[in-house]
């Protein structure tokens, strides 16, 4: 089994590489990481695999159809797993163009290269081939506090340039399956957290700011709700979908863990108070600051995981309590080492 992982130098993609490469004698033969190494893609995220003969890194763009085609042919790829994306909502508000270029145009070029490659495979190879596109719950829009969680049947109602670009790419993936017969799968995940996340995201931002003595900025009233999913649970869910998911289908992957932003910040502060107390014994909670709300800030996301649970037997292994402890301790260890 040869796998092309696009965006593998990023937060979630690098953990998926870990999953694929965890067993030196496992069924995978070649794992190819294609990443452009933009601000959130870092070589240190996969450096521990560089001596593994099964692993290869290629610096490049998913929008380079020629390069992607060469890699597919050279390594006789069986699975394409697309993590490559611009993902930060604030950045999409400040500069939407990059999100359209990577998430929409880039995904389309990746699909075109994959279809051209797939069309030339023999029947056995076609039977094995999968194109899995990693997406987000944000494509479904926003929920009130009393509405049912998002299922795969929810209408797409994206509210930010980021979520609109992901919605567009989801539609392209679906179209390439229904129109051209490309064996595609889509996963829509909730908010990921864990080691290696880029520090502009909520949890690592709070940890770094707290330890640096900076303010802990909380948008609006802090009551926006997200479902929180530990990153390795997300990766095992993706792997389950690749192995046994029904072609052309979408699977929601969530943590069954709804928390307000202020609950997240308070939990991080509580752990830091215990694990890394301030010299004056005051609480990190004193650094909380409420700031002007994000434009178009969605009020609540929630994921219904019944489909992946019932069809594929996947459930998250981590609770929020175990996951946030692991996450905070990882960042503390990195900061102590000066990384």
Token output for 156: 């797409």
Q: Which of 253, 111, 249 is nearest to 188 (CA)?
A: 253
Looking at 162, 176, 301, 331, which residue is catalytic? 162
Burial grade of 274 (CB within 10 A; 0-12, 13-18, 19 or more): exposed
In this structure, how many other beta carbons lie within 10 angstroms of the beta carbon of residue 53? Answer: 7
**176 has catalytic annotation:** no
Whether 221 is a known active-site residue: answer no
Q: How far apart are CA 251 and CA 178, in angstroms?
A: 17
5 burial via Cβ count (<10 Å: 0-12, 13-18, 19+): buried
| Catalytic-residue membership of 137 | yes
Q: Which of 35, 61, 138, 170 is catalytic?
A: 138
Say if CB 102 and CB 63 are below 8 A apart.
yes
* Catalytic annotation, pick one of 35, 78, 137, 227: 137
Q: Which residues are catalytic?
A: 137-138, 162
């Amino acid at each position: 089994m040869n796998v092309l992982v696009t965006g593998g130098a990023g937060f979630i993609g690098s953990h998926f590489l870990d999953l694929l490469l965890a067993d030196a004698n496992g069924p995978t033969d070649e794992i190819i990481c294609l990443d452009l190494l933009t601000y959130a893609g870092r070589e240190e995220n996969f450096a521990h695999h560089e001596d593994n003969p099964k692993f290869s890194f290629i610096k490049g763009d998913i929008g380079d159809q020629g390069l992607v085609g060469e890699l597919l042919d050279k390594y006789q790829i069986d699975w394409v797993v697309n993590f490559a994306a611009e993902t930060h909502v604030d950045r999409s508000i400040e500069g939407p163009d990059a999100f359209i270029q990577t998430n929409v145009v880039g995904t389309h070029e990746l699909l075109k290269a994959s279809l051209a490659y797939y069309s030339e495979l023999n029947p056995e190879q076609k039977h094995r081939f999968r194109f899995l596109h990693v997406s987000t719950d944000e494509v479904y829009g926003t929920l009130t506090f009393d509405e049912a969680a998002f299922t795969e049947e929810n209408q797409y109602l994206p509210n930010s340039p980021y979520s609109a670009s992901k919605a567009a790419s989801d539609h392209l993936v679906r179209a390439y399956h229904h129109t051209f017969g490309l064996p595609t799968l889509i996963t829509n995940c909730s908010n990921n957290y864990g080691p290696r996340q880029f520090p502009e995201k909520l949890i690592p931002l709070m940890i770094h700011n707290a330890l640096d003595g900076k303010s802990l900025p909380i948008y609006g009233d802090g009551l926006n709700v997200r479902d929180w999913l530990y990153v390795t649970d997300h990766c095992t869910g993706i792997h389950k979908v690749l192995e046994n998911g029904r072609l052309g289908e979408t699977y929601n992957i969530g943590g069954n863990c709804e928390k307000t932003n202020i609950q997240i910040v308070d939990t991080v502060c509580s752990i830091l108070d215990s694990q890394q107390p301030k010299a004056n014994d005051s609480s990190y909670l004193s650094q909380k600051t409420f700031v002007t709300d994000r434009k178009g800030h969605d009020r609540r996301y929630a994921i219904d995981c019944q489909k992946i649970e019932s069809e594929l037997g996947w459930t998250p292994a981590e609770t929020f309590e175990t996951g946030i402890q692991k996450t905070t301790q990882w960042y503390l260890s990195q900061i102590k080492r000066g990384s």
